[in-house]
Amino acid sequence: MPRTKVLVVEDDRALSEVLLYNLDKAGYEVFKAFDGRDGLNQAQLRLPDVILLDVMLPVIDGVEVCRRLRANPETAKLNVILLTAKSEESDQLIGFSVGADDYVTKPFSVRVLLERIKSLLRRKSLALLDDNDIVTRRGITLDRRKYRATVDEQPVELTKSEFRLLDTLMRQPGRAFERCELIDSALGEDTLVLERTIDVHIRAIRKKVGEKANAIETVRGVGYRFQDD
């Protein structure tokens, strides 16, 4: 099963490293950004399960980042926990008013934060329908929970890397991904592979999905995209 993705958007690099270390140790797949603009870009690229979002960020502040995430259909349902030194009730209300799922004030215990993440994921999991883990486009269906792929309801055996690549493409149809983006978002930024390795995976996926292969388009000079519905 794929690890739960957590994006840490925090400009305090010392705190960021502490969070990254503890989240990784707790079994999460962790990504980082140090300003609001990069945080937005990372959220749109990686579609993490949880975003730990500092409020006082350079370039774009955390409240505005949260507002933009909620305004974008692709990121509107991402889980967002705001991190801030502000503890006034009015500040919390502002955070919730733009769609934050939870609000943690600094200084905080990392252990408590980890429990808040677990609680949020558990709560959202119970509230959401099972088909949120399922994506179907052009006759291809991927089930994240069961790690199962079908084409026209017939099972297809994909490797873990192939499944994650196809899942990344299918969840943002029409978007052109560069090869380096696919390495980072689908395989993990610490994966030691060449960009051309993505081509090998794509060829294998196309072969396995048979007649649906043309749904995965090559974008000349860029990378790949899944046909928009």
* pLDDT, position 228: 81
Q: Count of domains in the chain?
A: 2
For residues 196-217, give the mean pLDDT. Answer: 91
Question: Are 10 and 115 contained in the same domain?
Answer: yes
Does residue 39 have a pLDDT over 90?
yes
Q: What is the pLDDT of residues 70-112, one digit of tens each?
A: 999 889 889 999 998 766 556 666 767 788 888 888 888 999 8
Q: Are residues 96 and 176 in the same domain?
A: no
Do 118 and 165 lie in one domain? The reply is: no
pLDDT band at residue 3 using 50, 70 and 90 as cut-offs: confident
pLDDT of residue 185: 66
Mean pLDDT of 52-62: 94
Q: CA separation (Å) from 197 to 159, 163, 165, 219?
A: 14, 15, 12, 16
| Ordered DSSP codes for the chain | -PPPEEEEE-S-HHHHHHHHHHHHHTT-EEEEESSHHHHHHHHHHH--SEEEEESS-SSS-HHHHHHHHHHSTTTTT-EEEEEES---HHHHHHHHHTT-SEEEESS--HHHHHHHHHHHHHHHHHHS-GGGGEEEETTEEEETTTTEEEETTEEE---HHHHHHHHHHHTSTTPPEEHHHHIIIII-TT----HHHHHHHHHHHHHHHGGGGGGEEEETTTEEEEPP-
Is the model's pLDDT at 5 over the cut of 90? yes
| Residue 151 structure tokens | 């084409």
Share of the chain above pLDDT 90, in %: 54
Parent domain of 141: 132-226
* Contact between residue 36 and residue 61 where contact means Cβ atoms under 8 Å apart: yes
Q: Quick one: 71 and 157 in the same domain?
A: no
Banded pLDDT at 203 (limits 50, 70, 90): very high
Q: Is residue 177 within 8 Å of residue 168, measured between CB atoms?
A: yes
Is the N-terminal amide bond of 107 cis, ω within 30° of 0?
Answer: yes
pLDDT tens digits for range 116-142: 898 888 776 655 544 468 899 999 999
Report the alpha-carbon distance of residue 70 to residue 97 in Å, rounded.
11
Residues 28 and 122 in one domain: yes
CATH number at residue 167: 1.10.10.10
Q: Do 119 and 9 share a structural domain?
A: yes
**Per-residue confidence band for 191, with pLDDT thresholds at 50, 70 and 90:** very low
Residue 134 is encoded by which pair of tokens?
Answer: 């399922």
The more confident residue out of 126 and 214 is 214
